[in-house]
Structure 1
Amino acid sequence: MLTRLSTHLAIGFLKFLAILPYGLVARFGDGLGWLLYQIPSRRKRVVHINLRLCFPQWDAARRNEVAGQHFRHVIRSYVERSVQWFGSAAKLEKLVQIESEIDLLDPDMPPTLLLGAHFVGIEAGSIFINYALQRQCGALYQPISNPLLDKVAIEARGRFGSHMASRADSARIVLRWLRDRKPVMLGADMDYGKRNSMFVSFFGVPACTLTATGRLARTGNAQVVPFIGEVLPGYKGYRLKVFKPWENYPSGDDYADARRMNEWLEAEIPHIPEQYYWVHKRFKTRPEGEKGFY
């Protein structure tokens, strides 16, 4: 647990890194990730369990290769919060390539839920899609247990006009935002427990999956537009990939809508498996009577 002094020091260090060249910061984070992967840890174990569950066809060498790359990406993503939170808009513009299948500047954009997938570049993608839209957006976030760090994160994530709301207080706020034609960013591909969730297959394993996206889209008469923040090779920055709205979604069937999201992830993750957020205990919540994996 970070003390107040150590939190201030950590934030100060991130602000210092933000003024350095991005390539230097990215290489530092990559090297730190490589070093930490050499040390046994709970999170390293979680990564290996998740990869073994989702890709049982991989041999140990392939799994270890992807796990090592992923650990480097994760630690690097924490270090790169420096640029994402404190770097200038001009610096971010140079670092983020946009590939969008929709017109982000469309003044007549219908009510829209922007569904961010938890790849390691989600922070950069979420901040920059808000900037690229050039309008006020809403965004849901999971509070950080450290109050000072939470305050800094909220300010950084909302600095281009995004209005932040805690996930716990979200439903009414999101519907109000949608009525006001304010695009809303949210993530739904993590295990938040059984509330508002059901067990849906994810790479063949039952995963506790939120049903909120489909229900919010149905109630708010909104389209769902998924996006991915991808880290580019060669320390070149990021690619923000914005996809077309899902057709025939929501369907009115919570299970089918949750499965739609997981199917989409199953199609996208194999393109860059090392960048999906395997350090998260995606299968932490289990069906009644089933033994845990972690």
Structure 2
Amino acid sequence: MLTRVGTKIAIGLLKLLAMLPYGLVARAGDGLGWLLYQIPSRRRRIVHTNLKLCFPEWSDEKREEVASKHFRQAIRSYLERSVQWFASAKKLDKLVQVDSEIDLTDPDMPPTLLLGFHFVGIEAGSIYINRALRRQCASLYQPMSNPELEEVAKHARGRFGADMASRADSARIVLRWLRERKPVMLGADMDYGLRNSTFVPFFGIPTCTLTAVGRLAKAGNAQVVPFIGEVLPNYKGYRLKVFKPWANYPSGDDETDARRMNAFLEEQIPLMPEQYYWVHKRFKTRPPGMPSFY
């Protein structure tokens, strides 16, 4: 955990990097990721474990290639927080391409949950979708262990007009936002433990999966619109991909709705497997009696 002085230095470094050309920052992050991947670490083992579980048909060489690329993407994403948090709106406009299957500026948009997924570009996508909506929206965030860094991150993520609230305080606030016709962003594809979760398949593995999205959509009479932040090749920036609302969702059945989310991910991850957040222990919580993968 960063000390108070260390936190101030880290924030100052991010602000400094935000003044540099994006391509330079991205290349520096790429190089640092390559270097760190050469050092055996717990995170590197987690990446390999996840890839082996999800893609058992891959050769060792294929897994090694994707793991190396992902490590570079993941470390790079931390340095790119500098641009995403502190660069000007004009700079971000040049870096983010919006590819949306719905009209994000529709003033008559029904109550909407914007469901983000943990690809390495999620930060860029979540911040910029505030701007693309051209209206006040709202977002849930996962609290950090460092209060000072959390405050900076919360301000940066909401700088284009988003109301922010912690996941711990979410249900009542989300329903109020939906009644006010504010689009609400949230992510649900991480392992948050057994509470409000069920075990459904993810690449064939029983996986602890949140059920909150379907229940919030039902209670708020909201449509669910998935979106993905994609890192473009050749250091060109990002693509914010916004999909059509899921039809017949929520179904009214928590397990069916959780399966729907995981099935969507199973379609999207193979399109850019190096960009999904494999450094996370996605299979940390196991069904009773089953051993840990990690």
TM-score tier by shorter-chain length is: over 0.9
Cα distance between partner residues in 2 of 1:81 and 1:39: 23
Aligned to 1:286: 286
* Cα deviation digits, residues 240-284 of structure 1 (max 9, x gap): 000000000000011000000000000000000000000000000
How much does 1:134 deviate?
A: 1.0
Aligned to 2:188: 188
Cα distance between partner residues in 1 of 2:52 and 2:40: 17
Task: Note if 1:165 corresponds to 2:144.
Answer: no
Aligned to 1:53: 53
- Matching residue's letter, 2:217: A
Cα distance between partner residues in 2 of 1:150 and 1:198: 29
Cα distance between partner residues in 1 of 2:206 and 2:274: 22
- Matching residue's letter, 1:45: R
Extract unaligned runs of 5+ from structure 1.
none
How much does 1:130 deviate?
A: 0.6
Task: Note if 1:216 corresponds to 2:235.
Answer: no
Aligned to 1:264: 264
Give matches, 1:71-220, under 5 Å. 71-220=71-220
Aligned to 1:8: 8
TM-score, normalising length: structure 1 = 1.00
Measured on the aligned residues, the alpha-carbon RMSD in Å equals 0.4
Aligned to 1:29: 29
* Cα deviation digits, residues 19-58 of structure 1 (max 9, x gap): 0000000000000000000001111000000000000000
Aligned to 1:252: 252
Cα distance between partner residues in 2 of 1:183 and 1:11: 29
How much does 1:135 deviate?
A: 1.0
**Which aligned segments of 4 or more residues in structure 1 are displaced greater than 2 angstroms?**
none
How much does 1:235 deviate?
A: 0.1
* SS state at 2:283 partner: coil
Total equivalences in the alignment: 294
Aligned to 1:277: 277
- Matching residue's letter, 1:41: S
Cα distance between partner residues in 2 of 1:292 and 1:138: 36
- Matching residue's letter, 1:134: R
* SS state at 2:99 partner: strand
How much does 1:117 deviate?
A: 0.7
Extract unaligned runs of 5+ from structure 2.
none
Aligned to 2:68: 68
Cα distance between partner residues in 2 of 1:256 and 1:71: 33
How much does 1:79 deviate?
A: 0.2
* SS state at 1:285 partner: coil
Cα distance between partner residues in 2 of 1:174 and 1:40: 42
- Matching residue's letter, 2:276: Y
